[in-house]
Structure 1
Amino acid sequence: MMDYGIDSNIPQYSLRIYQDYFVIDETIDTISIRAVPERGEEFVYGDAQFVKALKSYMLPQVLTVYGQPSQVFLRTHAGDLPGWLPFSLLLAYPVQRILVEYDGPIGEEEKHYGPLEEGEVIRVCPWRSEINLWLWSPDNARTIARVTGGYIDVGDYRSLEEATGLSIEQFYQTFSQPDNQTCLETPADLWGG
């Protein structure tokens, strides 16, 4: 497999985009796109210019265009990690061969540095994230680990319902609303300390 990559910086939109094309037998097999809210050397999660530039890939639009995902997974951490505490929200559309990840710091405003106290609630705000997108050949059925080159192991995640108590249908009804800035809530106790 060959890997070809492109890195683009678009400062007026606080945006850096990484594109990777994975080629097998002279055919593009998988495309990976990562959009990062970046201004200079700083990540600017929730930046209005980033959200505007990537409106088509924000959670409400993805849900509106592609419908309810087959699977939704969440991963976060409540413990004492170096730096801020992250989340990863993963939407799988295996029939369409689409995988979308919203990845960023927990909380609504500032980055939260751990650890969290017992009984606290972690707020996961998909509109304050970077966006990772994987597309793969319709000729190939793949596991999430294979599509992402091992970057994502769903064994580290919990199902949406287990993590938040929301069904995929409830998630869809809530987060498919345009310009939605709702946050998911998950008990810190689920994620270790």
Structure 2
Amino acid sequence: MIENVEGVFRCVAEKFNVPDILNVNTGFYKISGSEIQFVSGIRNEELDTIAKGQIKFGEVFGFYLDNTHLETTEFNAGIGLHVKFLPFNDEDPDELAEMIALHELAHLIEQQKLTNQLNIELEECDQAIGNKVEIHLNNWNPDLGHNQEFVAILNYLIRREYPMDYAHKLRVALSLTLADIESDIVNEEEDESYYDCRRANF
């Protein structure tokens, strides 16, 4: 059992074969309700403030932020996970906990432009589901974080680890982001094939 947030992210990163992506200047946070608490790593006050501002608007189970778009000289990142996912059973992980952690790691990979470094070769299938989700989200509001490349990376990582169950796992990983699609699936107005990248071609 893993008791701390940093341990969970490192465990999930290793399982999905991206073990070296957590920069030494990364801070790890626990989320509880509308509050965050720094627990380990390197703390950056500016990222703290941004994270606190985002968390207070609603229930958040995970987050990733870095200062790529901030005017600072030293790179810093912050990544958080809800306390409800602790302790984390690394031998039989809670599905939502694992997929939320992977969701945040995919943000890290996309924002830090690590696909080439990690030898991630996104296929047409990955790009298709990424495009589908980006178009859907942009029907409401432009979402710079949940963009085509982010979803494609997430799909790629899931397909590599769960080739027979990737559409379901992607649904879980995006269930809190695409809340309307999740509601439609729960109400049987849609099914998990929505997340099947083989059916996402346009």
TM-score range (shorter-chain normalised) is under 0.3
TM-score, normalising length from structure 1?
Answer: 0.27
Ranked by relative contact order (alpha carbons within 8 Å, sequence separation 6 or more), the top structure is 1
Q: Which has the higher helix share?
A: 2
TM-score, normalising length from structure 2?
Answer: 0.27
